[in-house]
Amino acid sequence: MSSSAASEEGDARSSVMPPPATEAEQALRARIAELEGELSARVHELAEQRRFIERVVDSLPVGLYVVDRDYRIQAWNHKRETGLQGISRKRALGRTIFEVLHRQPAALLKREFDEVFASGRMQQFQMESRATGDARTYRLSKIPMRLDDQQPRLVTHVITIGEDITDWRAALDRTAQSEKLAALGQMATGVMHEVNNPLATIAACSETLGLQWADAIRSESTNAERGARGVPAGDPMELLRIIDLEVQRCKGIVQGLLDFARPKPLRHESIDLNAVVRQTLFVLQHHPRGKLVSVVTELESAGPLMVQGDADRLVQVLMALVLNAIDASSDGARIVVRSYALSQGTSAACAIDVVDEGHGIAHDLQARVFEPFFTTKAPGRGTGLGLSICYGLVMEHGGVLSADSLVGQGSTFRMVLPADGSPPMTAGGSVPRLSHVPLAAAT
Ligand SMILES: Nc1ncnc2c1ncn2[C@@H]1O[C@H](COP(=O)(O)OP(=O)(O)OP(=O)(O)O)[C@@H](O)[C@H]1O
Ligand SMILES: [Mg+2]
pLDDT digits (tens, 9 = 90+) for 113-152: 999 999 999 888 887 777 777 888 888 899 999 999 999 9
Q: What is the DSSP letter of 366?
A: T
Q: Is 325 in the pocket of ligand 1 (CB under 6 A)?
A: yes
Q: Is 369 in the pocket of ligand 1 (CB under 6 A)?
A: yes
Hey, whose CA ends up nearest to atom 2 of ligand 1? 325
Q: Is 96 in the pocket of ligand 1 (CB under 6 A)?
A: no
Hey, whose CA ends up nearest to atom 31 of ligand 1? 376
297 pLDDT higher than 50: yes
The ligand 1 atom nearest the CA atom of 179? 26
Q: What is the pLDDT of residue 5?
A: 47
Q: Is 316 in the pocket of ligand 1 (CB under 6 A)?
A: no
Hey, whose CA ends up nearest to atom 25 of ligand 1? 386
* Maximum Cα interatomic distance, the chain, rounded to a whole number of Å: 168
**388 CA → ligand 1 middle, Å:** 10
The residue among 434, 432, 433, 424 whose CA lies nearest residue 124 is 424
The ligand 1 atom nearest the CA atom of 372? 18
**426 CA → ligand 2 middle, Å:** 24
Hey, whose CA ends up nearest to atom 11 of ligand 1? 369
pLDDT digits (tens, 9 = 90+) for 191-206: 666 677 778 788 888 8
**394 CA → ligand 2 middle, Å:** 15
Q: Is 387 in the pocket of ligand 1 (CB under 6 A)?
A: yes
Q: Which residues surround ligand 2, an ion (CB under 5 A)?
A: 324, 386
212 pLDDT higher than 90: no
Give the burial string for 417-438 (b: 16+ CB within 10 Å, else e): bbbbebebbbbebbbeebebbb
Per-residue pLDDT, averaged over 60-74, amounts to 94
The ligand 1 atom nearest the CA atom of 329? 3
**376 CA → ligand 2 middle, Å:** 10
Q: What is the DSSP letter of 417?
A: E
Q: What angle do CA 162, 163, 169 make, to 5 degrees?
A: 140
Pocket test for ligand 1, best of 180, 369, 401 (most atoms within 8 A of CB): 369
pLDDT digits (tens, 9 = 90+) for 2-36: 444 444 444 545 556 777 778 888 889 999 999 99
**423 CA → ligand 1 middle, Å:** 30
Q: Specify whether the CB–CB gap between 297 and 281 falls below 8 A.
A: yes
Q: Which residue has the higher pLDDT, 16 or 97?
A: 97
**pTM (whole model) above 0.75:** no
What one-letter code names the amino acid at 338? R
229 pLDDT higher than 70: no
Q: Is 410 in the pocket of ligand 1 (CB under 6 A)?
A: no
Within 13 Å, how many C-alpha atoms sit on residue 126's CB side?
17
Rounded CA-CA distance 232/190 in Å is: 31
431 pLDDT higher than 80: no
Write 147-155 long-range contacts (CB < 8 A, 24+).
153/120, 155/69, 155/116, 155/117, 155/120
86 pLDDT higher than 70: yes
Q: What is the pLDDT of residue 2?
A: 45
264 pLDDT higher than 80: no
Hey, whose CA ends up nearest to atom 19 of ligand 1? 384
The ligand 1 atom nearest the CA atom of 325? 1
Q: Which residue has the higher pLDDT, 195 or 111?
A: 111
The residue among 323, 335, 341, 330 whose CA lies nearest residue 390 is 323
**403 CA → ligand 2 middle, Å:** 13
Per-residue pLDDT, averaged over 231-251, amounts to 78
Q: What is the pLDDT of residue 36?
A: 92
Within 13 Å, how many C-alpha atoms sit on residue 334's CB side?
11
Within 13 Å, how many C-alpha atoms sit on residue 442's CB side?
17
Q: Report which bound ligand comes closest to the CA of 374.
A: 1
Hey, whose CA ends up nearest to atom 13 of ligand 1? 375
Q: Which residue has the higher pLDDT, 313 or 410?
A: 410
67 pLDDT higher than 60: yes
Q: Report which bound ligand comes closest to the CA of 323.
A: 2
Q: What is the pLDDT of residue 6?
A: 46
What is the average pLDDT score of the chain? 83
The residue among 367, 363, 347, 362 whose CA lies nearest residue 431 is 347
Pocket test for ligand 1, best of 178, 354, 377, 414 (most atoms within 8 A of CB): 377
**319 CA → ligand 2 middle, Å:** 9
